[in-house]
């Protein structure tokens, strides 16, 4: 319960716990469920920890947890957990190049474009609003995805909200 409460506070930004405290709490939760042999709860907790790690730029650690949790979710036919894992991001290193730029800071222009992406605007709409070409917007969006470690626009918007980048 402590882990879920901290996760909720972290997600909505009300009295969010320190990042390392949140990581430690989820690691302890995983350990405790392992002791009791609750494989589903271990996998679900791994998914929650993976989301936290990924948001903190610890993508390789997150991938490892996602892979482990996905194996259990498939074995148990736990569709809601598989959906949750899909929202966190790609399964393993084969899905994303090792030359990840995750953790790099966004430029002011990239931040401006990220806000518009999160509003659901297309590249063409963003280009018209900012008086730049659609191709330039596309390059900025690609850079944003790489820097956030996101697999797509929706994931980038979700990560940006989680990281407090949208205001």
Tens of pLDDT, residue by residue over 62-109, are 989 999 998 999 899 888 888 788 777 554 443 444 345 555 678 889
Are 70 and 91 in contact, with CB atoms under 8 Å apart? yes
Distance CA 113, CA 117 (A): 6
Give residues with Cβ within 8 angstroms of 23, minimum separation 6: 49, 52, 53, 56
Residue 141 is predicted with a pLDDT of 93
Tell me: pLDDT of 134 over 80: yes
Q: How far is CA 18 from the centre of its chain?
A: 17
Backbone angles phi, psi at 48, to 5 degrees: -65, -40
Smallest CA-to-CA distance from 88 within 148, 140, 40, 139 is with 148
Tell me: pLDDT of 35 over 90: yes
How confident is the prediction for the chain on average, in pLDDT? 84
Tens of pLDDT, residue by residue over 113-124, are 999 999 999 999
Domains of the chain: residue spans and CATH: 2-95 (no CATH), 108-162 (1.10.10.10)
């Amino acid at each position: 319960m402590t882990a879920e409460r901290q996760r909720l506070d972290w997600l909505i930004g009300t009295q969010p716990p320190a990042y390392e405290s949140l990581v430690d709490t989820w690691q302890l939760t995983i350990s405790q469920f392992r002791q009791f042999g609750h494989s589903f709860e271990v996998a679900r907790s791994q998914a929650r920890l993976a989301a936290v790690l990924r948001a903190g730029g610890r993508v390789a650690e997150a991938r490892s947890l996602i892979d482990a949790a996905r194996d259990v979710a498939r074995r148990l036919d736990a569709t809601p957990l598989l959906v949750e894992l899909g929202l966190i991001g790609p399964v393993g290193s084969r899905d994303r190049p090792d030359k990840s730029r995750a953790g790099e800071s966004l430029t002011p222009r990239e931040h401006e474009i990220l806000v518009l992406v999160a509003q659901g605007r297309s590249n063409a709409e963003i280009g018209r609003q900012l008086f730049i070409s659609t191709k330039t917007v596309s390059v900025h969006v690609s850079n944003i995805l790489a820097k956030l470690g996101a697999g797509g626009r929706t994931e980038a918007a979700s990560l940006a909200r989680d990281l407090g980048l949208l205001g």
